[in-house]
């Protein structure tokens, strides 16, 4: 585990190049969305950048995978491969988004149900809601490596879901350790983004690059983790 973390945080020139690609996407999307913030076309522009983000993501992640698995880096090949992986990764994001919306809607319905109820009823419904959600949320969390599995193994969407669930379930403790390591770093950069949002442009640009670097590090760490502990 220590070697995975050490190697994951040791970025090479090609990985810095991938971070620059992510960085320019962040700058472009932020600038355009800010400019059209009050426009009637904003939903269409957001949809465009949602699709572009998916394409950039799978291409960049494949670039990291290409470097780790094959020891090569072909900038044109990663964008070609990105087109092939595009719909599988997007399909998972849509399914994950639908699940989150359903859970959120269910929680809201429970809140509406108990808002005028007694304390005992509120406690009972809250307990029931938590118990009802524990298992499906647990299953959902087991699927979070699906996009990386799709990119690493070039497998269909639902096979990627199955592999992710089996892999995380078999390495739950180590997965938790990596999340606990990376989560404070993500919390810190998100806090900086919120704190300096549009207040100090130069600093905000620097923070965008920190986000890009951290994304590359996070993906590299988890790909190394998957590669070294992969169960066939």
What is the Cα–Cα distance from 230 to 232, expressed in whole angstroms? 6
125 CB neighbour count, 10 Å cutoff: 15
pLDDT tens figures, 48-58: 999 999 999 99
What is the Cα–Cα distance from 218 to 5, expressed in whole angstroms? 10
- Per-residue confidence at 128, pLDDT binned at 50, 70, 90? confident
Q: What is the pTM of this model?
A: 0.87
- Per-residue confidence at 38, pLDDT binned at 50, 70, 90? confident
Q: Please say whether the beta carbons of 36 and 45 come within 8 A.
A: yes
**Radius of gyration, alpha carbons of the chain:** 20
Cα→Cα distances 13→20, 21, 101, 156, Å = 11, 13, 39, 31
Q: Is the pLDDT of residue 116 over 90?
A: no
Looking up tokens 């964008």 gives 79
Q: Is the pLDDT of residue 82 over 50?
A: yes
pLDDT tens figures, 197-226: 666 677 888 889 999 999 999 999 999 999
**Lowest-pLDDT range, 114-118, 159-163, 180-184?**
114-118
Q: Is the pLDDT of residue 232 over 50?
A: no
What is the Cα–Cα distance from 220 to 11, expressed in whole angstroms? 9
What is the reported pLDDT for 231?
47
Q: Please say whether the beta carbons of 152 and 223 come within 8 A.
A: yes
The rounded mean pLDDT for the chain is: 88
């Amino acid at each position: 585990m220590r070697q995975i973390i050490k190697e994951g945080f040791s970025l090479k020139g090609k990985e810095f190049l991938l971070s620059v690609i992510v960085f320019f996407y962040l700058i472009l999307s932020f600038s355009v969305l800010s400019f059209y913030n009050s426009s009637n076309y904003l939903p269409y522009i957001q949809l465009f950048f949602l699709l572009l983000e998916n394409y950039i993501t799978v291409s960049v992640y494949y670039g990291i995978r290409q470097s780790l698995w094959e020891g090569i880096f072909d900038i044109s090949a990663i964008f070609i491969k990105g087109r092939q992986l595009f719909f599988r990764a997007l399909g998972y994001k849509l399914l994950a988004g639908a699940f989150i919306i359903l859970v959120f809607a269910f929680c809201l319905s429970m809140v509406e149900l108990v808002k005028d109820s007694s304390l005992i009823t509120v406690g009972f419904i809250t307990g029931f809601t938590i118990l009802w959600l524990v298992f499906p949320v647990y299953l959902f969390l087991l699927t979070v490596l699906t996009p990386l599995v799709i990119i690493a193994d070039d497998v269909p969407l639902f096979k990627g879901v199955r592999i992710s669930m089996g892999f995380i379930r078999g390495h739950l403790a180590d997965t938790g350790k990596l999340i606990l390591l990376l989560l404070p770093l993500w919390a810190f950069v998100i806090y900086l983004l919120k704190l300096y949002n549009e207040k100090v442009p130069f600093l905000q640009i620097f923070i965008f690059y920190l986000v890009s670097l951290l994304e590359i590090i996070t993906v590299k760490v988890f790909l190394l983790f998957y590669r070294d502990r992969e169960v066939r």
